[in-house]
Amino acid sequence: MTAIACLKVFVGEELRFADSEAMAALVAKVAGAYLETTWVWPRRYGLVAPFSFVLADPRATALDARELQKLAADLQFKLFGEKGSGDIALLMFEGDQTDVMRFASTHGDALKALLAGEDDGLFAGRICKITPSGVSSIAPPGGPVEGAPPAEELAAIEPEPPRGGIDDLLDAPHSKAGWWAIYYLQKERFVGSGVDFRAAWDGDFGATTSDSDTARDMACLAAAQAAMQTIPTGYMFLPFSFSAMVKPSLRETYRSHVEKLPKAMRPRLAASVNDVPREPSYGAVTQIRTFLQPYFSLIDLHVKDPGFNVESLPVGAVNSVTLVLEGQDERARLSAISRFLKELEVYRAKRVWQGVAGVQNLKELDLCRRLKAPFLSGPMVAPFADKPAGDIAWPPLNLPYRSRTAIK
């Protein structure tokens, strides 16, 4: 039994996330110091996104929201002083690990109803609102705020063996992450796989807009690290949010995760930067490359606009640009493939490979073949699988590739 929850911190008169990176860092420092001294082993905690912590207790089936009221009071005092006029509120969501990570990556604006004490049904789990002056249950309405078993009984319970850190605590990244095999058309072989959070896709590559969520990236990095020892060949493409990587404070949240990646694996590691805009600035690309290059042998940009301005990239700044197909309009998808791949000479001049992700039917696959797309992925290439594909020779006429690890 392990109770796991996400704790979100809201700051300011309207109880929204502060936009200031300095505020995010201050909240992380104050809350982290509090949890370090009070949320002690066998409990575990970790900052998974700005203003968002994951908490767990292997001895409990429900966490005690009342324990966190002291944290709300500490934040109130440290941020606004003894008589300050600012407001602090915490939302504690307790549920299964997939929903906890989804809650962690949800922006404050989407949680207004919960802050107002109204459950809109967006999350299936237990939700408590915590302020310096009180604790209340939002879902279920008027439900319990205490833990189970009660806090005074926890000390007598034998804990589960320690798992080593927050990455091991979050079982969801290990069991809920999956892989898209990446096919190299010219060499007629799979050259590796890209990791993604299974719950984000619901069966369709690119089906949601959550692929830039920092929390999901962390989940995927943890899953990739767990898989590295079992797959001896092929590249592993690991995701990074463009919007997070261009902000210094958010970029630093990735550092402890990438530093854990084995140095011996770096020749096989590739970074996929998601949701890159049509014309990223020179400074943004340079900052991202400087951060990622010590840990990865390849850098791939994922774009959704087939008119991506590759000429804006410095020569040699990245290794590849991948078009991520989205939507269900067949003509629009085929048109996007054609427009993107007809810029082959421009990409060659920049020494940048092209790829197409999310290929979902035979028409799209045939068009990519005719236009000689170098790299392909998606359901029509190989289904979402629970393990990386590795390096495998495979005739293009036998696509999609289906292995015993394919997810039904």
Pair 183, 311 in one domain: yes
Cα 56 to its chain centre, rounded Å, is 19
Domain limit, last residue, from 132, 167, 202: 167
- In order of 6, 47, 159, 187, 383, the CA distances from 163 in angstroms are 19, 17, 11, 41, 31
| Confidence label for 318 from pLDDT (cuts 50, 70 and 90) | very high
Cα 19 to its chain centre, rounded Å, is 20
Task: Please check the confidence at residue 232 and state whether its pLDDT lies above 90.
Answer: no
Pair 180, 108 in one domain: no
Q: What value does the mean pLDDT take over residues 63-89? A: 83
| Confidence label for 204 from pLDDT (cuts 50, 70 and 90) | very low
* Domain contains 321: yes
* Domain contains 408: no
**Rg for the chain, CA atoms, rounded:** 23
Task: Please check the confidence at residue 213 and state whether its pLDDT lies above 70.
Answer: no
Domain count, the chain: 2
> Three-state DSSP class for 241?
strand
Domain limit, last residue, from 167, 185, 207: 167
The per-residue pLDDT for 205 is: 34
Q: Quick: pLDDT tens for 330-361.
A: 899 999 999 999 999 999 999 999 999 999 88
* Domain contains 7: yes
Please state whether beta strands 88-94 and 44-49 pair in parallel, antiparallel, or not at all (unpaired): unpaired
The per-residue pLDDT for 391 is: 92
At position 101, the amino acid (one-letter code) is M
* Domain contains 406: no
pTM of the predicted protein model: 0.58
Assign 3-class secondary structure to 38-53. HCCCCCEEEEEECCEE
Pair 155, 220 in one domain: no
Pair 139, 202 in one domain: no
Domain limit, last residue, from 142, 167, 192: 167
**CATH code at position 324:** 3.20.20.450
* Domain contains 286: yes
Q: Give the domain extent around 89.
A: 3-167
The per-residue pLDDT for 171 is: 41
> Which of 5-14, 63-72, 238-247, 344-353 shows the lowest mean pLDDT across its residues?
5-14
Place of tokens 């804990």: 159
Q: What value does the mean pLDDT take over residues 42-60? A: 85
* Domain contains 403: no
Q: Phi then psi for 209, rounded to 5 degrees?
A: -105, 15
Task: Please check the confidence at residue 121 and state whether its pLDDT lies above 50.
Answer: yes
Pair 280, 336 in one domain: yes
* Domain contains 387: yes
